Amino acid sequence: MSQVFPKKLDGVLRIGCFITALMFLFVLLTLIGLTRSSWVTGENRFTEQPIPFSHRHHAGELQIDCRYCHTSVETSAQAGLPPTETCMTCHSQLYTQDEVTAPIRRSWTEDKPIRWKRVIELPDFVYFAHNVHVNNGVACTECHGRVDRMPLMSQAHHYTMGWCLECHKDPARRLRPEEEVFSPEWSPPDHQQREEIAEFLMKKYDVELSRLTECSSCHR
Ligand code: HEC
Ligand code: HEC
Ligand code: HEC
Ligand code: HEC
Ligand code: HEC
């Protein structure tokens, strides 16, 4: 049989095929990686705000309670964002000459609210409520991460259906006693106690497992 290409070229072609296959694999892996990456899910991405507000300073170092600013978190679906008045309780005296806090004073004197941009936003077809979680032992940091360490707010998780369900299927070990819901840090003393506390809290909050995985709980 006569060869179409000279022997030497055959080797080159083979290497060519090999490289093409490698490149294909690379592109495929990149695409798979990309759909799961934080770039798509928004995890750890910072949102530019009108004022670079630091939770690390305010909730971490100064230990201001979450509820001081997010006043409706125990009573309604929304946690709520603080009005300028809340900032002014301190910033009418503190940092009154600084450029970083100028937008607070401007908002106050012009009587125009500060336009905070939302960091986390679920699609409209999902029902979520803060009060049911917070009043049943689910701590802020379970869902928002260590905000007390965040100089700027970022998404601690990708808030997908899978993420919600991971807890809804088995929430026992992620519940806290009610007095620990707002503290950034809490862990039960040891493993034995963790299991006992988990069981105790499931009874105490009367958590109904079957309802938590029903479609209609979150899609109403
Ligand atoms: C002194 C006021 C103040 C305190 C205290 C405070 N926050 Fe905030 N929080 C804000 C402001 C202002 C924003 C909007 C700007 C931003 O996103 O950083 C915000 C935004 C957030 C967001 C992002 C919401 C979104 O989707 O846009 C989360 C989550 C949050 N806070 C959680 C907490 C938790 C948890 C605590 C307690 C550990 C806490 N905050 C304490 C003022 C406060
Ligand atoms: C309970 C008092 C208190 C409240 C309420 C408060 N702050 Fe502050 N803020 C402080 C103190 C104290 C500092 C100085 C922190 C430092 O430098 O360690 C500060 C610092 C700042 C700074 C300077 C940059 C930084 O983080 O060091 C900005 C900006 C700021 N606050 C914005 C806000 C905004 C916006 C609000 C309202 C949502 C607010 N603060 C509510 C006490 C408060
Ligand atoms: C079970 C998970 C979970 C817990 C617990 C939780 N959050 Fe949230 N939070 C979310 C989700 C999801 C969103 C986005 C809601 C949306 O887009 O409708 C959100 C949004 C927010 C927002 C912005 C929008 C709003 O509701 O006003 C703030 C502020 C906030 N959370 C603060 C808190 C604080 C403070 C706590 C604890 C007291 C807390 N969250 C506990 C999951 C949680
Ligand atoms: C614990 C809350 C929760 C439960 C229970 C739940 N979902 Fe979802 N679902 C979500 C959230 C959050 C999203 C939006 C984020 C996302 O797309 O992952 C979503 C998105 C979806 C979507 C949009 C497609 C997609 O993947 O983006 C469909 C379809 C859906 N859910 C169907 C269902 C069905 C069917 C059930 C019951 C078997 C169910 N869900 C139960 C929270 C829930
Ligand atoms: C860390 C655990 C945890 C995570 C994460 C979580 N939940 Fe929940 N959720 C709970 C617990 C615990 C309850 C309350 C059970 C009860 O009422 O006894 C609850 C209750 C609910 C309810 C009320 C159900 C009903 O009909 O009573 C809704 C709606 C809900 N969750 C939506 C969501 C959505 C949407 C997400 C994701 C964005 C989410 N949850 C993430 C633990 C969690």
Residues 211 and 121 in one domain: yes
Lowest mean pLDDT among 11-15, 101-105, 198-202: 11-15
CA atoms of 17 and 11, how far apart (whole Å): 10
Q: Residue 99: which pLDDT band, with cuts at 50, 70 and 90?
A: very high
List the residue whose alpha carbon is closest to atom 18 of ligand 5: 207
pLDDT score for 10: 67
Q: Give yes or no for residue 185 having a pLDDT over 70.
A: yes
CA end-to-end distance (rounded Å), the chain: 71
Residues 32 and 128 in one domain: no
| Cα of 140 from ligand 5 centre, angstroms | 13
List the residue whose alpha carbon is closest to atom 1 of ligand 2: 90
Q: Give yes or no for residue 102 having a pLDDT over 80.
A: yes
Residue 12 within any structural domain of the chain: yes
Residues 120 and 31 in one domain: no
pLDDT score for 32: 57
Residue 136 near residue 207, CB atoms below 8 Å: yes
Q: Which ligand is nearest to the CA of 119?
A: 1
Q: Is 104 in the pocket of ligand 2 (CB under 6 A)?
A: yes
The number of distinct structural domains making up the chain is: 2
Q: Give yes or no for residue 115 having a pLDDT over 90.
A: yes
Lowest mean pLDDT among 127-131, 190-194, 200-204: 190-194
pLDDT score for 124: 95
Residues 63 and 164 in one domain: yes
Residues 124 and 213 in one domain: yes
Q: Which ligand is nearest to the CA of 46?
A: 1
Residue 180 within any structural domain of the chain: yes
Residues 74 and 18 in one domain: no
Residues 126 and 182 in one domain: yes
Q: Give yes or no for residue 5 having a pLDDT over 70.
A: no
Residues 29 and 120 in one domain: no
CA atoms of 136 and 204, how far apart (whole Å): 9
Residues 59 and 152 in one domain: yes
Q: Is 30 in the pocket of ligand 4 (CB under 6 A)?
A: no
As a whole number, mean pLDDT of residues 178-199 equals: 89
Q: Give yes or no for residue 2 having a pLDDT over 60.
A: no
Residues 29 and 72 in one domain: no
Residues 154 and 195 in one domain: yes
Residue 175 within any structural domain of the chain: yes
CA distances (Å), origin 33, targets 43, 45, 66, 159: 14, 17, 35, 18
The 10s digit of each residue's pLDDT in 119-175 is 999 999 999 999 999 999 999 999 999 999 999 999 999 999 999 999 999 999 999
Residue 204 within any structural domain of the chain: yes
Residues 27 and 66 in one domain: no
pTM of the predicted model, to two decimals? 0.89
| Test site for ligand 2: of 64, 67, 86, 94, most ligand atoms within 8 A of the Cβ | 94
pLDDT score for 70: 98
180-207: b (≥16 Cβ within 10 Å) or e: bbbebeeebeeeeeeeebbeebbeeeeb
Residue 177 near residue 136, CB atoms below 8 Å: no
The 10s digit of each residue's pLDDT in 78-97 is 999 999 999 999 999 999 99
Q: Give yes or no for residue 1 having a pLDDT over 70.
A: no
Range(s) of the domain holding residue 11:
7-36
Residue 15 within any structural domain of the chain: yes
CA atoms of 66 and 140, how far apart (whole Å): 9
Q: Which ligand is nearest to the CA of 61?
A: 2
Residue 138 within any structural domain of the chain: yes
More confident residue, 151 or 37: 151
